[in-house]
Amino acid sequence: MTSDPETILRIVSELFRAPWSARLDGSIGAELELIPVRDATRRRVPIKPDADGAGTAEIIGIAGRALSWSEAIDSYGAPLWATTDGGRISYEPGGQIEISSPVFESPAELDQSLRHTVAALRAAAASNGVSLLAVGVDPYNAIEDVALELHAPRYDSMTRYFEAIGPSGTRMMRQTASLQVSVELGPEPMERWALLNALAPYLLAASANSPTYAGRNTGYASYRAYLWQTLDKTRTGLPFSASDPVAAYTAFAVGAGRIVDDDAAHLTTLFPEIRPRGYFEIRSIDAIDSNRMGDLLRFIHGIIHNADAASEAHALIGNPDPALLARAALLGRSDPVIDQRLDALERLL
């Protein structure tokens, strides 16, 4: 399988034409992933019931019936739910629960929606002896104890591809969880893309909460980030060039290893820290608890939508720095440079 550079360039160019264009700049959405484990054993909870108790589909169904969510079956054969505010609850390949919000006009509305959904899910889970962990990686279980729950050509192909490289890819698919925040392209998309790429190490450090994996300390502040950074160097990182961002991202896409044959689908298998999709998807954040989400959402929103703050942030942190991204995964806020700059960034608001 090879990429056609001209086709890829056309598709990449479309990523910077906003399907959110009818919305005001300032719109924001998010996807929050949660890792379900049994309280008694710390074993992962599958979608369907097992010998240890209820599966997550039954647990989500309890919350859904109480809040009038509608249930359907997704393209992978797994259940999904539509929430009454326009959001969706579905699954990641290892059975992680994914809450996908609708698009809101403010971070406060987004925060309120996510808190409401998480609270309902946690109440239903607690009644069944299950905790929903808002951390970047499963702290208790090894990959051998976490099955691939979604069997579809895409995920089966990804599993084969990543297994040929090393262990990080399958661990990422089945055992990581993040908070992915989506924001508008804005009136100057390339400037915003540059700023978000430069902010990525700081967002990672601010959220890093996953030092433990399979019951052992990994030595990383965010082992989730380490797994993403090492699953395949051709499809992750900060592929940005100030001189020609579209050409740089096109070269990144053309050079990435192929998991699927279709060029458009190929771009969905790329996992940079900031992914253009007709909006910008920020992928640098460990899943965090609902009592911390609001501050981080307001920080992101405030930095990019306040022209003075954006300009001062750029002057403070400079251009995107892949080496700093690796340091953020390893050290988090214990890196003195990252910590000092984060303090300064927070003071801009």
Taking the C-alpha atoms of residue 260 and residue 236, their distance in angstroms, rounded to an integer, is 16
Give every CB contact of residue 257 below 8 A, 6+ residues apart in sequence: 161, 232, 234, 235
Q: Could you give phi then psi for residue 77, rounded to 5 degrees?
A: 85, 5
Q: Give me the pLDDT at residue 242, please.
A: 85
Per-residue pLDDT tens over the stretch 242-276:
889 999 999 999 999 999 989 999 999 999 999 99
What is the reported pTM?
0.96
Q: What are the C-alpha distances in Å from 271 to residues 32, 173, 231, 294?
A: 16, 12, 10, 25
Q: What are the C-alpha distances in Å from 129 to residues 37, 45, 53, 91, 176?
A: 9, 10, 9, 20, 22
Residue 1 has pLDDT above 80, yes or no: no
**In this predicted model, which residue has the larger pLDDT, 316 or 242?**
316
Q: Give me the pLDDT at residue 208, please.
A: 98
Q: Is 49 helix (H, G, I), strand (E, B) or coil?
A: coil
Is 246 inside a domain boundary?
no
Q: Give me the pLDDT at residue 16, please.
A: 85
Provide the mean pLDDT of the chain. 95
Q: Is 212 helix (H, G, I), strand (E, B) or coil?
A: strand
High-pLDDT (> 90) share of the chain, %: 89
Amino acid of residue 198: A
Taking the C-alpha atoms of residue 85 and residue 285, their distance in angstroms, rounded to an integer, is 24
Residues 20, 103, 188, 312, Cα dihedral to 10°: 180
Is 93 inside a domain boundary?
yes
Residue 8 has pLDDT above 60, yes or no: yes
Is 140 inside a domain boundary?
yes
Q: Give me the pLDDT at residue 19, please.
A: 65
Q: Give me the pLDDT at residue 251, please.
A: 95
Is 254 inside a domain boundary?
no
Q: Give me the pLDDT at residue 143, please.
A: 98
CATH number of the domain encompassing residue 286:
3.30.590.20
Is 247 inside a domain boundary?
no
State which residues form the domain around 288. 22-240+270-347
Domain count, the chain: 1
Is 2 inside a domain boundary?
no
Is 171 inside a domain boundary?
yes
Q: How many Å separate Cα 230 from the centre of its chain? A: 16
Is 121 inside a domain boundary?
yes
